[in-house]
Structure 1
């Protein structure tokens, strides 16, 4: 079995372990998110940061007389999303490569914009949400899932350890700041639903370590260390993962917001 280049040094994934992907990691979150979106049959849906398109396909199925479009900055994710939609025979869906902050959407071309952890990384969030607002009908709505504060997310604390914590993933964690951004972009009446569900990292310690090894933060941290420090970090991560391994896999606690707002 070929070991991915992104795997942790000297960690060899167990050939009996099922691989993890982002949809598997967020399987409990997705249930809450799909319910909150409450897509109607005739709605036109825009999915921001769609990844491999699970949320887009879910939206397309709900919008049985409407449509769904997913957008993502990753060409490999868009290719995978198209493959999965074709394999599942979801026909009222399409995917485009682009950045929602600057993409030329059709004015008022959508009724609802959704995003599952895809809106925290905009270079200019007000500009990005203003562009999304312009793509929505006057009575349109926005529903997005974002991480709550770093200290409420065990997965980040455990993986990062004593290293400086990246703040980008938590840029919309503060409700007061998120409301100000949305208000400046043309949205109103923002509400915040607490989602307290664990994230899934695999059915074994080996599968979890392989998954963690693909995180950008992990790769960058390991590249900055010498050989001895890499070995210490590998040991620390293994111990942290082992502490969270139970009969049904490896789980880390997490907290997220589902933010809902309307156009004004």
Structure 2
């Protein structure tokens, strides 16, 4: 894969334009089913008005971009992501759904040349945990917001004591790529988040834990097949039948009402320029 010149987070660009991005694009509906329960609290925190210009960071297949655009019918929403496969899916779904004020660009939010003060709000649903330099990235996002502009994002919280933590505990130790400062849990510590945003120049930073039901599959075997395909799990734990069997057993207690339902936990972060 050839990485565009305006992307500095090359390791993530390679992942999201390879297996990781293709898996998310091919299973966008599955990932949305896992994460949709958090959408309302995120969009309410962003306080999007009818005329607002909204920036969606790590937009993936564009679900939040489209929802933000609908909340701003006289404004617009721009989704930015590293992943060409996911952006192709986002554009296709946006055309299908008829959301003319939602647009998409491929880029690295850490260095992307956003116009100064071009947005009223920036949002992200689990798309800001992978920056190579988070202070630089959020500084770039701050520059793109108008004075008083709002930042609201969701980050994965620590799985300790959660339903997902119970599943992970059943399949072995969580690898560093899942738990460390370079992976999906990199923004799970509120103190670290506050330090990053303070250094990036944001004010009125707040963090709180939020909860939502997450649908992982129609039954334990289906949920196991899906979770085993998630990039960090597949990369660190392999893709063998033993892993899938272990995940299936761990998911079985969460089967109810025709689906596997886990109580999900996330960190909701708000700040202002």
Partner Cα separation in structure 2 for residue 27 and residue 249 of structure 1? 15
Which residue is equivalent to 2:163?
A: 154
Residue 201 in structure 1 maps to residue 216 in structure 2: yes
Note the residue ranges of structure 2 that are not aligned, 5 or more in a row: 1-18, 20-26
Contact 1:82 1:95 (C-alpha < 8 Å) held by counterparts: yes
- Structure 1 residues 222 and 171: alpha-carbon distance in aligned structure 2, compared to 1, 3 A threshold: closer
- Once the two structures are overlaid, the 10-residue window that deviates more, 154-163 or 81-90, is 154-163
**Which one has more relative contact order, counting CA pairs under 8 Å at least 6 apart?**
1
Matched ranges for 1:164-203 at <5 A? 164-165=174-175, 166-167=178-179, 168-203=183-218
Spell out, residue by residue over 1:213-240, the C-alpha distance to the aligned partner (whole angstroms, 9 max, x if none): 32012222343x8xxxx44323211101
Contact 1:40 1:63 (C-alpha < 8 Å) held by counterparts: yes
Which residue is equivalent to 2:113?
A: 104
How far the C-alpha of 1:20 sits from its partner, in A, is 5.1
Which residue is equivalent to 2:122?
A: 113
Which residue is equivalent to 2:235?
A: 220
Contact 2:215 2:261 (C-alpha < 8 Å) held by counterparts: yes
1:252 aligns with one of 232, 250, 262: 262
Instruction: Tell me the number of residue pairs that the alignment of Structure 1 and Structure 2 aligns.
Output: 242
Which residue is equivalent to 1:10?
A: none
Which residue is equivalent to 1:13?
A: none
Partner Cα separation in structure 1 for residue 44 and residue 121 of structure 2? 14
Matched ranges for 1:52-67 at <5 A? 52-67=61-76
Partner Cα separation in structure 2 for residue 156 and residue 97 of structure 1? 33
Contact 2:166 2:250 (C-alpha < 8 Å) held by counterparts: no
Which residue is equivalent to 2:22?
A: none
Partner Cα separation in structure 2 for residue 107 and residue 19 of structure 1? 32
Higher helix share: 2
Partner Cα separation in structure 1 for residue 161 and residue 198 of structure 2? 25
How far the C-alpha of 1:80 sits from its partner, in A, is 0.8
RMSD after superposition:
2.0
Is the radius of gyration larger for structure 1 or structure 2? 1
Contact 2:52 2:72 (C-alpha < 8 Å) held by counterparts: yes
Partner Cα separation in structure 2 for residue 173 and residue 260 of structure 1? 14
1:84 aligns with one of 63, 77, 93: 93
Which residue is equivalent to 2:272?
A: 262
Spell out, residue by residue over 1:97-123, the C-alpha distance to the aligned partner (whole angstroms, 9 max, x if none): 111112111111111100011111111
Partner Cα separation in structure 1 for residue 29 and residue 98 of structure 2? 24
How far the C-alpha of 1:157 sits from its partner, in A, is 4.7
How far the C-alpha of 1:19 sits from its partner, in A, is 9.2
